[in-house]
Each structure stands twice: as C-alpha cells, then as structure tokens.
Copies of this chain bind each other. A is one copy, B any other.
Amino acid sequence: MAYKDLRDFINDLDQKGLLYRVKRTINKDTELMPLVRWQFRGLPSDERKAFLFESLTDSRGRSFDAKVAVGILGASRPIYAAGMGCKVEEIQERWVQAQRFPIPPKMVDGGPVKEVILQGDALLEAGGIDKFPIPISTPGYDTAPYLSSPYVVTKDPETSIVNVGTYRGMIKGRTRTGIMTHGAQHIGIHLEKARRLGQNLPAAIILGCVPYVGMCSVAKIPYGVNEYDVAGGLAGAPIELVKCETVDLEVPATSEIVVEGELSTEYLEDEAPFGEYSGYMGERAKNHVFNISCITHRRKPIYQAFISQFPPSESSMIRKISYDALMLKFLKYDCNIPTVQRVAFHEMSGSWMYIVIQLDKTNPSQPWQALNAAVALDPTIGKIIITVDPDIDPDDPESVNWALSFCMQPHLDVRITTGKSSMLDPSAAPSGTETEDRRFPKPVGTSAMLIDATRKHAYPTVSLPAKEYMDHAKEIWEELGLPPLKTRYPYHGYALGYWPEEWDKEAQMAVQGLYLETGEKLAQRRKPFRGWKEAKE
C-alpha cells in the first residue's frame, strides 16, 4: 500500500525503528544540521536513521509552528527501501520497472495542502517563506538557510511537458529565493524557452510530500517523461494532484507546503556560497531568482530538508539509488546492451563522477558501447566510468580496484573524452572564475575517462583454495573455537575460462601427496637455457 502523505510515511519509519524524534528545542540555524551530520561522520551507513525535530527555535529566538524532518528519504538504504515499500535488494528493480511502466497522476478537487492559503499582505505578514524553520545546512560557511529538498514543478512553455526537479535555493527575502540551475538541466531548457518567448517561468515548489515524488525529483529522468508518472509507477498507484492557486501547475494534494511563483528570466542575482555535494563550498554564482506569489500549506506543517554537502550524505544516497537505476535502465533497455547487470554510482564522487558498470559481455565491444553511452547520458555526469565483469562488486571500491589492477592495460583500455560540462566541480576552473566559464571551460569543456576493466581473454582460476577445502577448513575453524567469521566473497577459487586438463590432474595429485611424481615428469621436459629474450634484445 502506498503512503498517502509524508506523515503516514514518517509514522511508518517510527514503527520500523528508523526514526529519532527529537523533542528538545533545537536551533535550526546552528544546531540542527550539525547534529544530523554526526551520523554521517560517526555511524555505519545502515545504522543511520531519519530525524524528526518537534521543537525548533532560531538565532533570532523565534519559535515555529512547523516541525523539521531530515534524512527521511535516504539517510540509509533501509529508509529508502521503506519509502518504496520494498526490501533493500528490490530497490533497483523497482526503479527500473517504474520507469518502464509509469502510472499517470490523477487530478482531485482539494486536499490538505490547501488548509492554509497565504497571498499578498497576509503572506508578507506571516513572514513569507521565512515563516518556516528552514535550517542552515553548513553553519559557519553558508550565507543563509537554503531550500535543500525542493521539488520544483515547471512546464515546457512550448509543449507543456512537466518537469519536477530539485535545485538548491537561497532564502533571500520573505517572497524571494535564489535557484541554481544549469542550462543542461530540463528546467534550464524551460527557462531558455521562456526567455526566448519573453516570458518568466511559472513554478511551484513542493516542500514535503509522499516519498515517491521526492525520489523522482532528484533522479535523472529523461526529458519529456513526466516525473509524476514515474512517481506513480513507484507508488503503484496514481499520485493525486491539485491545481495551484496562482500558477497553471499541479502539485500533490497532501503536500506539506507548496510555494508558488515565477522564475525571472529578466535578471540574475548573486547566490551562494553554499555547501555542495562535491564536498566543497559552492562558490558565489550568478543564478536565477524565484519570486513568490502564494504559499499554501497544511496546518502545523512538516518542513522536509535533505542533508547534502560532504559525501556520503542523504543526498548522495538518494542520488546514487536513482542514478544507479536510471543508468541501468538506460543502458539495458534504451541502448541495446542487455548484458548490463548493475550500475553503481559511488557516493564519494557525490554519486556523480565515479560510475562502475557491471556487465556479462557476450562480445568485446559491449563494454565500450556501455562506456560511450554512459558518458553521453548527461553532460555533467560521469568523470570516471569503469566497466567490470560479473564477479566484481561495482559498489565496493576494493573490488573495483582489484579489477583496475589486473584486468586492464591503460594504453589499450583507457580513453579520455572532452566536451563535458561542470556542475559545481571545483577542478573545472580556478576559484573565482565566472559561472559560465567554469561550466564549459575553454577550449574543450571538462572531461571524462572511460576504462574497460573487464577481462579481455579467458583467465586462469582465482587463487583461493577450492570450495571443498575452504568449507572443510571452516568446520575446523569452528571446532577450534576461533572468532566468528563474517564471510567475504569470494571465499574460494572459481574458474574464469582457462584451466588446462593437465593442471587439473596435477592439482588433484598434489592434494593426494603425489607432487614429486609431477616434479619428475616436468624434469623430462627441460629445455636448454640461452638467456631471456629481454636480456638479449
């Protein structure tokens, strides 16, 4: 059964033991995010929980009607799986199928999001967007609270195709926020089309709703696919939408808060610094501005924030999960490479730069088909893209490093491609460079490295004892009372295509103690030695 609203989901997290309720009053400007940050700097990934802050204050001593939820979408994989209503190991396939079999949304007449409607003077008197306890993400360095988990709804001004996406936004005034977009993003296309038409771009920002919409908002869903449809696919039921008050857009009926307004195409404003996904502060940049015309919200709303910034974070986790699935679906179903098995975006790359593709190739071109397609999916995504064989765990950096070490030769298996674009990558250009010049630094933009680390020929067997000896030794291990084992895979040798029959026979003789016979046989095959080629040539 799909969750009907955010509260339903939060209660379920609580019942599953995946939520901390914090009743102590917390300063949203200085204390809230550092507290949640600790679980990313001090607890193993799967032990992290969601936080619900029930009593908030700020540095001006205000109190708030609203609660704040952080980490409820993706502080851990178990939390994300709870949001999808599935097991952790089912997440990727659910995501793939939701894209293949989307379910369109359903319009309804009203909903809780209309419990409070604020416009004009009433909006200003209530404090506008600043009436909510929006946390400062990186106190000490951020120059304001930012919207970190907005689901921004816009329509293509020409085709009316909907896009829902997440773009950070600086709180600049009671009815004004910044918004950071990139021309390569779908909202960037909407903005450019609006500008060419001499229009501003109407937008509605959802702050808190059923998890499915958030999951899609942060995903890289292809242009022209309505995120609400995929969200319905994830939910297994249509998302119920209501019309906005002041813009021709639709938002989930059970949203906690919806902010309506327009993105100006007439001017840009300085925004940031803001702590970014890369692990560095994003620099001051000229960005668009969102002017607010109306806010609707539930009574006693829950303001949802993502904790992002230095990886790993909630944002790297939710991006990873959806990007893994989107890239897998893209390569496997759209790009004609059915042998692709798994995709793993690495969180330490912000789930953005370092991508490993596992495939069970049936011909030697498939890894390059996958690498070339993967690097082309999005101009800003993928700096290091690696293909590996099915016995390599694409999520485990040690397993991938094993493949890099012994399954590729750099002069044969590495290609560098330029023409990529930077999305907040500080290596793109010196600090202080103008926004546009760092996005596509002259003359060739940024670049990506493609590495085929699949094996190019049959390999000899993996050098661990055969399964029967390892299994028997485990019995002895336990009989001796040695410490409990947590098995790492692989734990025994396995064949990789090259294992001549003679070697197998000799190995069987060896474990019977008959190795001197093999030694004797090999002596009969001696050949005269006249120096190694490498010493002579």
Contacts and interface: CB of A to CB of B under 8 A. Distances in A.
Contacts of A516: 130, 171-174
Given A34-B469, A531-B192, A408 B427 contact: yes
Give the interface size class of chain A: 35 or more
A322 B351 CA distance: 35
A534 B402 contact: no
A526 B60 contact: no
A224 interface: no
Interface string A137-175: 011111111000000000000000000000000111110
A431 B458 contact: yes
A349 B29 CA distance: 45
Chain A interface, >50% SS class? mixed
Contacts of A455: 426-427
B474 A38 contact: yes
A314 to B, nearest CB: 14
A425 B413 CA distance: 15
Given A139-B511, A283-B460, 8 more contacts: A42-B486, A59-B513, A141-B493, A145-B510, A275-B463, A276-B463, A281-B461, A430-B457
A4 interface: no
A68 to B, nearest CB: 15
Choose among A139, A176, A519, A528 the residue with the greatest number of B CB atoms under 10 Å from its CB.
A519
A278 B511 contact: no
Contact of A353 (B280, B405, B515): B405
Contacts of A416: 410-411, 414
Contacts of A362: none
B31 A472 contact: yes
29 contacts: A20-B480, A22-B480, A35-B477, A42-B486, A42-B491, A47-B483, A140-B469, A142-B507, A143-B510, A143-B518, A144-B506, A144-B515, A145-B510, A192-B531, A264-B529, A267-B529, A270-B522, A278-B405, A280-B496, A281-B460, A284-B500, A309-B464, A348-B398, A348-B399, A349-B406, A384-B405, A406-B427, A409-B447, A414-B416
Contacts of A466: 138-141
A312 to B, nearest CB: 9
A383 interface: yes
Contacts of A122: none
Nearest to A136: B510
Q: How many copies does the complex hold?
A: 2
Nearest to A506: B143
Interface string A422-460: 000111101110001001100010111100000111111
Contacts of A411: 416, 418, 444, 447
A447 B31 contact: no
Choose among A196, A459, A486 the residue with the greatest number of B CB atoms under 10 Å from its CB.
A459
A284 B421 CA distance: 49
A252 interface: no
A273 interface: yes
Given A183-B532, A436-B534, A466-B141, A513 B29 contact: yes
Given A354-B404, A449-B410, A426 B485 contact: no
A140 B447 contact: no
A41 B491 contact: yes
Nearest to A463: B275
What 3 pairs between A and B have smallest CB-CB spacing?
A140-B466, A172-B519, A42-B485
A407 interface: yes
